[in-house]
């Protein structure tokens, strides 16, 4: 795969691939961690609200004060994420209900501790109310600490938690995208700092190939590329010197040939003149 990529593609790949993987892994981990913390906080807040409602509702349950229970339930609805509130008697018969119908099924079992049941949209709590909760409210009734007065039922919506989770995810994605954009720009700048000198080297080699041996490369801005440019300059200088020496040798040989030709021509003229003189002398003697 890398063989088919140029320098720019390789720089982008080798820069963006590890950064992208790291950003996705870290972003996913921290998003999951934050979502888990939000869910844990929501569940803890639901437990606290249910445990706060028990001593408030205990005196009204003991006196079967429906009006007070209704007011307590309506006030509880004003708290964040509280979707529905209900008070049940000891036999699980409804006394008061405030808010829409609860989404989840009731928690399984009817123990003496807080129970809960969750799905994707809400968490439903069920807490028994005993006589000791009346004692906490200051309504002390002797020998009724373990008497079951009724039940507090509460459902918390997950909408705000999910919304905060989505916002956190969106913020993480924006940070990841911003980081990738910055890394891409940095990688492109880095690739240009490599490609530009290489283009100059390529152009210089092309000039040398065309016979322009006077071509020289300036410093290219990095130690390695400067060494390469220096090597090309030395090669060009060597070729230029060799060409000049060859041209000098050719010129010298041409001059020698010319001088030899002139000498031969003079000798030919002298021979021709001598031949004519010999012929003239022979003719006179005859």
Quote the percentage of the chain above a pLDDT of 70. 92
* Selected residue with higher pLDDT from 143 and 80: 80
Percent of the chain at pLDDT > 90 equals 17
Position 153 pLDDT exceeds 90? yes
Q: Which of 89-103, 139-153, 235-249 has the lowest mean pLDDT?
A: 139-153
Q: What is the pLDDT of residue 191?
A: 78
Q: Does domain 2-165 have CATH number 3.30.450.20?
A: yes
Render pLDDT for 117-137 as a digit per residue (tens, 0 to 9): 888 889 999 999 988 877 655
- pLDDT of 279 higher than 90: no
Position with higher pLDDT, 72 vs 276: 72
Burial of 94 (0-12, 13-18, 19+ CB in 10 A): exposed
Mean of pLDDT values over 71-94: 91
Return the pLDDT at 136: 58
Domain boundaries, the chain: 2-165, 221-286
Point out which residues pair with 186 in neighbouring strands: none
Scored b (16 or more CB within 10 A) or e, 260-283 reads eeeeeeeeeeeeeeeeeeeeeeee
How far the first Cα of the chain sits from its last, in Å, is 101
What's this model's pTM, rounded to 2 decimal places? 0.60
Q: What is the pLDDT of residue 142?
A: 60
Q: What pLDDT is stored for residue 72 in this prediction?
A: 92
For residue range 7-65, list pLDDT tens digits in order: 667 777 777 888 888 888 888 888 888 888 888 998 899 999 999 998 889 888 888 88
Residues in a beta bridge with 96: 87
**pLDDT above 90: residue 282:** no
DSSP string, 126-170: EEEEEHHHHHHTT---TT-TT-EEEEEEEEEESHHHHHHHHHHHH
Angstrom CA distances, 74 to 69, 193, 275, stand at 9, 68, 147
């Amino acid at each position: 795969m890398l063989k088919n990529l140029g320098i720019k593609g390789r720089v982008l790949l080798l820069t963006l691939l590890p950064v992208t993987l790291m950003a996705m892994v870290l972003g996913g981990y921290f998003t999951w961690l934050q979502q888990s913390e939000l869910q844990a906080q929501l569940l803890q807040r639901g437990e606290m609200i249910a445990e706060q409602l028990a001593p408030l509702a205990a005196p009204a349950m003991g006196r079967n004060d429906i009006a007070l229970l209704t007011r307590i339930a309506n006030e509880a609805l004003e708290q964040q994420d509280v979707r529905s509130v209900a008070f049940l008697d000891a036999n699980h018969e409804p006394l008061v209900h405030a808010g829409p119908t609860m989404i989840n099924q009731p928690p399984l079992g009817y123990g003496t501790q807080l129970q809960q049941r969750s799905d994707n949209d809400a968490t439903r709590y069920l807490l028994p109310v005993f006589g000791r909760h009346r004692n906490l409210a200051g309504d002390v009734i002797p020998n009724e600490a373990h008497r079951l007065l009724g039940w507090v039922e509460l459902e918390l919506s997950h909408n705000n938690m999910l919304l905060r989770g989505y916002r956190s995810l969106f913020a993480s994605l924006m940070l990841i995208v911003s980081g990738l954009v910055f890394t891409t720009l940095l990688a492109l700048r880095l690739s240009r700092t490599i490609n530009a000198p290489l283009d100059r080297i390529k152009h210089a080699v092309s000039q040398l190939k065309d016979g322009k041996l006077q071509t020289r490369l300036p410093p290219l801005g990095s130690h390695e590329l400067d060494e390469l440019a220096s090597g090309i300059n030395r090669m060009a200088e060597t070729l230029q010197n060799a060409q000049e020496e060859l041209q000098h040798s050719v010129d010298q040989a041409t001059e020698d040939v010319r001088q030899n030709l002139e000498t031969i021509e003079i000798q030919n003229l002298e021979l021709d003149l001598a031949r004519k003189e010999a012929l003239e002398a022979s003719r006179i003697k005859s």
